[in-house]
């Protein structure tokens, strides 16, 4: 039996968790399926917005190349776990 409770975590935080999980080797089907259930769907526009280099990212040492990798990771996640 699944217990359905509303997800109150901001979507960007869930995207952060997906990218970090992949980067640090926690790419596990059970974990990714849980993230999929939290998000339901993520589209190209949301991925592009998430992967836009901001001043805050720059302060943290990220560059445009990092944003491209994040986008690739999220697209791969979507393609594998969010099939229509």
pLDDT one-digit tens code per residue, 5-38: 777 889 999 999 999 999 998 888 999 999 998 9
Confirm whether 72 is domain-assigned: yes
Confidence of residue 40 (pLDDT cuts 50, 70, 90): confident
Domain total for the chain? 1
Helix runs in 1-84, H state only: 11-23, 29-39, 44-50, 55-59, 64-81
| Residue pair 8/43 in contact by the 8 Å Cβ criterion | no
Confirm whether 70 is domain-assigned: yes
Confirm whether 9 is domain-assigned: no
Confirm whether 2 is domain-assigned: no
pLDDT for 5 equals 74
Confirm whether 46 is domain-assigned: yes
Cα torsion 60, 42, 25, 10: sign: positive
Give residue 57's domain range: 25-81
pLDDT for 7 equals 77
Confirm whether 69 is domain-assigned: yes
pLDDT for 2 equals 62
pLDDT over 90 (residue 43): yes
pLDDT over 80 (residue 55): yes
Confirm whether 64 is domain-assigned: yes
Confirm whether 18 is domain-assigned: no
């Amino acid at each position: 039996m699944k217990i359905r409770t509303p997800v109150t975590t901001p979507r960007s935080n869930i995207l952060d968790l997906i990218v970090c999980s992949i980067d640090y080797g926690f790419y596990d089907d059970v974990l990714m399926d849980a993230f999929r259930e939290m998000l339901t769907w993520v589209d190209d526009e949301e991925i592009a917005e998430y992967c836009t280099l901001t001043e805050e990212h720059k302060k943290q040492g990220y560059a445009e190349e990092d944003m491209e990798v994040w986008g690739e990771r999220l697209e791969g996640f979507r393609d594998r776990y969010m099939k229509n």
